[in-house]
Amino acid sequence: MRRPWYQSFLAFGFASLTVGCASTGAVPQPFPRPGAGPSWAPPRTAGTAPGDGYTIAGMALSLRGAPYRDGGADPSGFDCSGFITYVFGQHGIAIPRTVTLQFAAGESVQRDELRAGDLVFFSTTAPGPSHVGMLIGGDEFVHAPSTRGEVRVERLQSTYWAQRFIGARRLVR
């Protein structure tokens, strides 16, 4: 027995839609997002959010090798502040998008009191904060620099970064 024409049409349409989704290049996100709470709950904001800096830094480290993209804020490409915004967002913590606003968020941290998850800021292109990374522990931080074009780990005490360090902020307790 033959199927009515509309059943074949519906089957073809459904198959076309599922194939199209696979080719979009979209990166699936976990549902629900870790730490986001119920979908009706407002996002936590930086400075008031409980959190584990090591867990957040671990998430940042998992993105090593992601490409640099000016204005990027997802794993298909990050700029420095987009990288930080994305990582905190994956933990349900809303933070400002720009380096300047991130530098004003949370609480100031002295260099000798830094811990994993703290943001470290540098003056690279102009006076004031123009680059941000995240401390992962000890003397190392992870960031999305435009040079060599990928998320990577570097040392705060390296000649380049030590000369440009201007401060640090803590966004989680």
What is the number of other CB atoms lying within 10 angstroms of the CB of residue 119? 28
Task: List Cβ neighbours of 169 (8 Å cut-off, separation of 6 or more).
Answer: 102, 103, 105, 106, 107, 108, 109, 118, 119, 121
**Contact (CB, 8 A) for 111 and 54:** no
Catalytic residues: 80, 131, 143
Query: Can you tell me the distance from the alpha carbon of 80 to that of 68, in angstroms, rounded to the nearest whole number?
Result: 8
4: amino acid identity, one letter: P
User: Which residue's entry shows tokens 């198959």?
Assistant: 15
